[in-house]
Structure 1
Amino acid sequence: MGKISAVLFDKDGTLFDFQRSWAGWALDLLTELSDGSPARRAALADALGFDLCAARFRPESPVVAGTTDDVVRLMLPYLPGWTGPALGAYLTEASAQAPMVPAVDLGPLLAGLAARGLALGVATNDAEAPALAQLEAAGVRRAFDFVAGFDSGHGAKPGPGQVLAFAEATGRRPAEVLMVGDSRFDLAAGRAAGASTAAVLTGTACAEELCDLAGVVLPDIGALPAYLDRLGAGAA
């Protein structure tokens, strides 16, 4: 592993705790879109891998690492009267208002990483506009040198495009980048780009599901500074 000079974060499940941020929002969304039909609500929940009884996403939910376009394709068969573009626009606008719950206190963590001279970025399979809105609402938008969604022109994870674009935008080599994420898509994207990888457990996956693609498995991003200290990353 080379010296790390840049850290690229996934958003949902990494910067923000996945279940605490999205489960309640998803339950309300399913109720609204089902238009009073319990059968439709159940069908939509099943398509999205959402457990209505527990009000939580299942670990295998396709929503965890999917794009907005993926979610639209899953939901559209159960929503007569909706078109793909209309549903996509609705989900994008609604998700921008979702109340994100940070996995840790983001401000001090990101400031500390920046003080090491590390370039910071976000790569998400969400759309770019809601990602920017959520980072702004959390008060950390300006902490990042780069933010990309699946619709930003670099492709979506597990492809390497977002990681490579981050490296180019910040003047780093891909080998200097640490990709941090909570899903196999995040880690596969990092490895495909030639970056180092770190997994966190604030999504829906367990350590056993991530360890083969991760250089390290951390409980959350709050453990990053100590890990970077061990690697000698940035100027302490």
Structure 2
Amino acid sequence: MSRADGVLFDKDGTLFDFHATWSVWAHEVIRDLAEGEAEVMARIAEVAHYDLAARCFRPTSPIVAGTNREAAECLGRALPGRLVEDIETHLMLSAAGAPLAPAVPLAPLLEGLAARGLRLGVMTNDTEYGAKAHLTSAGVLGHFDFVAGFDSGHGAKPAPRPLLAFARAMGLEPARVVMVGDSAHDLIAGRAAGMQTVGVLTGTAVEADLAPLADVVMPDIGHLPDWLLA
């Protein structure tokens, strides 16, 4: 018997490997926003906690677990005179075309979970537009019963409300739902919602960051099916 009736996934760093997807994307965005000016790129990278030489986010980056709006506000501090709304729109549209790197082959994993009768959802602090664009590009949107972003009307993580919206929409008891994520935001939200929590190491966090908040920490979501049946 499965230990859950539903699984709610974070998107970035969970379904998709964070660095292989978003660290690559971020370098192009920084260059675009700076219009190629090295000094401005350095200024943007500093506020974003992004290593331009290594082309990757540092674990301390406020952008990693934040919403699209919060990311725009962060970058706006390095771009005086630019409207946050314009930066936010640029991030949303460019993120929809990010070079996706699934953490594991997603379709067979999701098909296997659904075959067990599990209801599946995605809750991300990205926009709903971005989430659906990425899941469509990866060919797996149809595997999910619920997809929400920070702008879908339920709020954002680490608040529990968007997670509880999934449980309510699926008619599930929160205790029978597993929240799977790569950040403390994901797991704090899961605990606050009364859900089981699974941490994965395909984001920027290390095991020591996630273990205090998780029922289990896994290398990636490919290990989830065995754990659900344990």
- Residue of structure 1 in register with 2:132 after alignment: 132
- Residue of structure 2 in register with 1:209 after alignment: 209
Aligned residue-pair number: 229
- Letter of the structure 1 residue corresponding to residue 67 of structure 2: T
For 1:59-112, what per-residue CA distance to the aligned partner results, in whole angstroms no more than 9, with x for missing partners? 111111000111111111222342121111111111111111100000000000
CA distance in 1, matches of 2:32, 2:84: 17
- Residue of structure 1 in register with 2:219 after alignment: 219
- Letter of the structure 1 residue corresponding to residue 93 of structure 2: E
The residue correspondences of 1:9-158 to structure 2 (distance < 5 A) are: 9-158=9-158
**Runs (5+) with no aligned partner, structure 1:** 231-236
For 1:211, what is the secondary structure of its paired residue?
helix
CA distance in 2, matches of 1:34, 1:221: 36
CA distance in 2, matches of 1:30, 1:85: 16
CA distance in 2, matches of 1:49, 1:76: 14
CA distance in 2, matches of 1:89, 1:32: 13
- Residue of structure 2 in register with 1:177 after alignment: 177
For 1:162, what is the secondary structure of its paired residue?
helix
For 1:135-155, what per-residue CA distance to the aligned partner results, in whole angstroms no more than 9, with x for missing partners? 000000000000010000111
Q: Give the Å deviation of 1:162.
A: 1.2
For 1:205-232, what per-residue CA distance to the aligned partner results, in whole angstroms no more than 9, with x for missing partners? 00001000000000000000110110xx
CA distance in 1, matches of 2:81, 2:60: 28
- Residue of structure 2 in register with 1:163 after alignment: 163
- Residue of structure 2 in register with 1:233 after alignment: none
Comparing 179-188 and 35-44, the one that deviates more:
35-44
CA distance in 1, matches of 2:115, 2:93: 34
For 2:204, what is the secondary structure of its paired residue?
coil
CA distance in 2, matches of 1:97, 1:33: 16
C-alpha contact 2:125 2:149 (8 A) present in aligned 1 = yes
- Residue of structure 2 in register with 1:8 after alignment: 8
Q: Give the Å deviation of 1:3.
A: 3.7
For 1:133-187, what per-residue CA distance to the aligned partner results, in whole angstroms no more than 9, with x for missing partners? 0000000000000001000011100000111000001010111110000000000
C-alpha contact 2:47 2:78 (8 A) present in aligned 1 = no
- Letter of the structure 1 residue corresponding to residue 158 of structure 2: P
CA distance in 2, matches of 1:223, 1:173: 23
Comparing 85-94 and 99-108, the one that deviates more:
85-94
After the TM superposition, which segments of 4 or more aligned residues of structure 1 sit over 3 Å from their partners?
none
Q: Supply the RMSD in Å over aligned alpha carbons.
A: 1.1
- Letter of the structure 1 residue corresponding to residue 212 of structure 2: D
Between the two proteins, what is the percent identity of the paired residues? 53
CA distance in 2, matches of 1:21, 1:36: 21
- Residue of structure 2 in register with 1:234 after alignment: none
Comparing 36-45 and 89-98, the one that deviates more:
36-45
**Runs (5+) with no aligned partner, structure 2:** none
TM-score, normalised with respect to structure 2: 0.97
